């Protein structure tokens, strides 16, 4: 059902700016989740990334050309925007001779519900994975992309994505047991 809606969104996105805006709105929840992941779960940063991406898309600086699915293409744009902002922060910190704030958010209170605790445990375990392993697992598990689509988003070969996926799953399994 979702795939059919996305296919209609992709067709509409290629036809008009208004339809593209509607397609972006339909993908917003998943896009926000991916932006959160790309920004280390910093909500304000994720919202800033999404706003910049939407502006790029709607102003025509980033164009969907149909070489991938709309969702895959959009996730790649989000990933590039988050990486660009991260590089800019690091460069500013170097220029100002300050160390960027790379500390994780403070731990949640002990009284959190069971589901929240499991989520945090998985998030921490994912954070201990190599960056590419974490990215491919998040794209496949949480964003429902195939490994091939994840490879496109990440800008790596399918073989490389498969290796990162397999190694990431093995390491994640060890981290969680």
Which pLDDT tens digit goes with each residue over 36-85?
Answer: 999 988 999 999 999 999 999 988 899 888 888 999 999 999 999 999 99
User: Which sequence spans correspond to the domains of the chain?
Assistant: 1-103, 106-177
Contact partners, residue 174, CB within 8 Å, separation at least 6: none
Integer Rg of the chain from CA: 17
Residue 169 vs residues 13, 65, 84, 116, 151: alpha-carbon distances, Å: 34, 32, 27, 21, 16
* 101 has a pLDDT exceeding 60: no
- What average pLDDT is seen over the chain? 83
Tokens 């731990």 correspond to what residue? 107
| Overall pTM > 0.85 | no
Instruction: Let me know: does 64 contact 6? Beta carbons within 8 Å.
Output: no
C-alpha dihedral, 89 to 134 to 6 to 80, nearest 10°: 20
- In CATH terms, the fold of domain 1-103 is Rna Polymerase Sigma Factor; Chain: A (1.10.1740)
CATH code for residues 106-177: 1.10.10.10
């Amino acid at each position: 059902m979702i795939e059919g809606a996305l296919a209609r969104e992709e067709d509409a996105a290629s036809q008009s700016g208004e339809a593209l805006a509607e397609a972006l709105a339909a993908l917003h929840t998943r896009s926000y989740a991916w932006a959160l992941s790309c920004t280390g779960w910093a909500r304000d940063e994720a919202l800033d990334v999404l706003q910049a991406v939407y502006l790029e898309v709607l102003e025509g600086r980033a164009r969907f050309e149909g070489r991938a699915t709309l969702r895959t293409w959009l996730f790649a744009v989000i990933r590039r925007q988050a990486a660009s902002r991260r590089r800019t922060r690091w460069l500013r910190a170097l220029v100002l001779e300050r160390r960027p704030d790379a500390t994780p958010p403070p731990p949640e209170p002990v009284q959190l519900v069971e589901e929240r605790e499991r989520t945090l445990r998985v998030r921490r375990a994912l954070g201990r994975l190599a960056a590419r392993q974490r990215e491919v697992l998040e794209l496949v598990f949480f964003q429902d992309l195939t490994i091939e689509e994840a490879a496109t988003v990440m800008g790596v070969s399918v073989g490389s994505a498969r290796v990162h996926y397999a190694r990431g799953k093995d390491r994640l399994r060890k981290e969680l047991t």
